[in-house]
Amino acid sequence: MVRLSWTNKKDLDVNELKDNSITFERVKLIRPINSSGEMINVWSNKLFWGDNKLVIFYLLSKFTDKINLIYIDPPFATGSDYILKIRMDGNILKEFGYKDNWGKNLDIYLQMMYERLILMKELLTSNGLIIIHLDWHVSHYIRAILDEIFGKDRFVNEIIWYYYNKYSAGKKNLPRAHDNILIYSKGKSYTFNEFRILRDKPVKQLMRESVNGVLKNVKDENGHVKYRIVHDKKADDVWRIPCIQPASSEWTGYPTQKHPMLLERLIQIGSNEGDLIADFFCGSGTTLHVAEKLNRKWIGCDNSKYAISIAIQKFLKQRVRNSRDNDYYPIELLAIKNEKTLKVFNSGFFNKTIEILRGK
């Protein structure tokens, strides 16, 4: 078997981690089900603020084999950290967004991903899928790691997301205009729904029918083959979807925010209504918002307070806009209570309106 190696590669002992007593507590009820905030016997969608390694350890006690679909869009190891320009309390501030500079070699990045992917596998149902969104920087390494963790026979697809509307310089190479989205299954059988997309132009297709298990052309009473006009086709593994633009009503300004259309496809293909979806690098919460729209339950996590704040703001806006809000599950914000996090809660940070501005 081929195994990717890196300096200080370490195995992860899941049993040892399960003994770890980290507790995440509800620090805010973002969308109570009624004015008294009762939540008896009701599922609540969960948004974790914290390092996803700790969050996944914590979830293992209750959610092992329970999550139907995991989508993650981790840092791509681009070599540059993300700085946010934000407006808050009438001030314009520059704040650290998230880390994507991992030093000269990729050892730390690969170990970080390796440990988390091992843990995420534990959370998946036996027919669950994991979707990992990357680009040219490390998708080849992560694919080798996924082969090791899930088995190379569990590879389902590599989707090429071609974003035709993003400028990309390339003097000594062709402009890079796609991301690589890897899909692996936990078990041999898994949820996989057909997804159809509109064709650029309708096509005329021969009508076929199955006669005793053999496909035959359908003919009219005069013996002429019959045709039908087809407007859509089964989606293949190259998707032409734009990058989200500032003019879009869905735009949050969060760096590397993904287009909801992309998540709609992935969630519809890999899960059914009522299923539980998780995104442990949720950023502005695109996966969670789409999961909710498509009637899936969800768990989200990010270690940036700005990401969490943007995701919450979007949920609250949706509640105002959407008359169906009584159909939605409550949302809890969970975190480890310590000096650092309490300082943020006590400052009222998660009740403030934050705007992410363009430019430097």
Residue 135 found at the interface with ligand SAM (CB under 6 A): no
| Nearer CB in complex with ligand SAM: 83/206 | 83
Residue nearest to ligand SAM (CB): 283
| Nearer CB in complex with ligand SAM: 98/150 | 98
Residue 286 found at the interface with ligand SAM (CB under 6 A): yes
Residue 68 found at the interface with ligand SAM (CB under 6 A): no
CA dihedral angle for residue 328, residue 130, residue 268, residue 98, rounded to 10 degrees:
60
Residue 49 found at the interface with ligand SAM (CB under 6 A): no
Residue 58 found at the interface with ligand SAM (CB under 6 A): no
The CA-based angle 142-3-302, given to 5 degrees, is: 30
| Nearer CB in complex with ligand SAM: 74/330 | 74
Q: Enumerate residues 96-125 that contact ligand SAM by CB under 6 A.
A: 98
Q: Which helix (H) or strand (E) holds 109?
A: helix 107-123
Q: Which helix (H) or strand (E) holds 209?
A: strand 208-211
Nearest distance, CB of residue 40 and ligand SAM, angstroms:
30
Residue 51 found at the interface with ligand SAM (CB under 6 A): yes
Q: What is the 3-state secondary structure (H, E, C) of 37-104?
A: CCCCCCCCEEEEECCHHHHHHHHHHHHCCCEEEEEECCCCCCCCCEEEEEEECCEEEEEEEECCCCCC
For the chain, first and last CA: distance in Å?
Answer: 47
Residue 254 found at the interface with ligand SAM (CB under 6 A): yes
Nearest distance, CB of residue 179 and ligand SAM, angstroms:
10
Which of 137, 121, 125, 126 is closest to 66 using CA atoms? 125
Binding mask 290-329 for ligand SAM (x = CB under 6 A): -----------xxxx--x----------------------
Pairing, β 276-279 against β 67-72: parallel
Per CB under 6 A, residues contacting ligand SAM are 51-52, 73-75, 98, 254, 256-258, 281, 283-284, 286, 301-304, 307
